Amino acid sequence: QEKVQQSPESLIVPEGAMVSLNCSFSDSASQSIWWYQQHPGKGPKALISIFSNGNKKEGRLTVYLNRASLHVSLHIKDSQPSDSAVYLCAVSDNNNAPRFGAGTKLSVKP
Amino acid sequence: GPKVLQIPSHQIIDMGQMVTLNCDPVSNHLYFYWYKQILGQQMEFLVNFYNGKVMEKSKLFKDQFSVERPDGSYFTLKIQPTALEDSAVYFCASSPGHSYEQYFGPGTRLTVL
């Protein structure tokens, strides 16, 4: 069964900083990786996905996937106080539903 | 955008009672999921459901748990009987296909006394 680990557990950055979040997974056959944002008391909301090795950019978000090292990262450029939330990495394969990591709690200070 | 609704938002019951959590998924979605999140902790997969059947369930999906979606209505999670350790927030999600984006509801906070 897929194991998903995220680091760091929490992160405090000043407004405008570049944020880097990490996620490692256990199965190289993993089909897709999604990043979600979760605000307190709310359900997770999808931000960006990646399926192939390499990187993908959407707005201020860039995601990098390296299947050989079983690692994916999310980078947020020019972070804003509104980006403060918990970021969840979700990994699935052909046969199994997505499994989530424990999350990284991001605080962006004005 | 598309929304998943969950009813009720909060349920308080006594241990041993039955509870049904209701989820109204996005209308054209085919895959349905329940996840359990104890306050401040990890989102844990419980079960996924497709074409009227349970496709996959985790060890957390105990024998006391059941899911159904009769005639395309609510996707429900029933717990009978409840235990103290069932206290958590339960999130429902739906997606149009496997490995597609999951759309989550706002969660139902279940408190078992």
Identity at B91, one-letter amino acid code = F
Contact: B102, A94; criterion CB under 8 Å: no
> How many Å apart are CA B24 and CA B94, to the nearest integer?
9
Contact list in B for residue A30 (CB cut-off 8 A) is: none
Q: Under an 8 A CB cutoff, do B101 and A43 touch?
A: no
In sequence order, the β-bridge partners of residue A20 are: A75
Span B93-103, mean pLDDT?
93
Which residue type sits at A100?
A: F
A97 and B105 within 8 Å at the Cβ level: the answer is no
**Mean pLDDT of the residues in chain A:** 94
Whether the pLDDT of residue B40 is over 90: the answer is: no
* Opening angle at CA A28, ends A26 and A32, nearest 5: 95
Quick one: pLDDT at residue B70?
86
Q: What is the amino acid identity at position B12?
A: I
Chain B residues with beta carbon closer than 8 angstroms to that of A42: 106-107
Given a cut of 80, is residue B102 above it in pLDDT? yes
Structure tokens belonging to residue A4:
């998903």
pLDDT in tens, A4-25: 999 999 999 999 999 999 999 9
Which pLDDT score, from 0 to 100, does residue B87 have? 98
Residue at A51: amino acid letter: F
SS3 B61: coil
| Cβ-contact A22, A106 below 8 angstroms | no
**Cβ separation B42–A44 shorter than 8 A:** no
Question: pLDDT per residue over A32-77, tens digit each?
Answer: 999 999 999 999 999 999 999 999 999 999 999 999 999 999 999 9
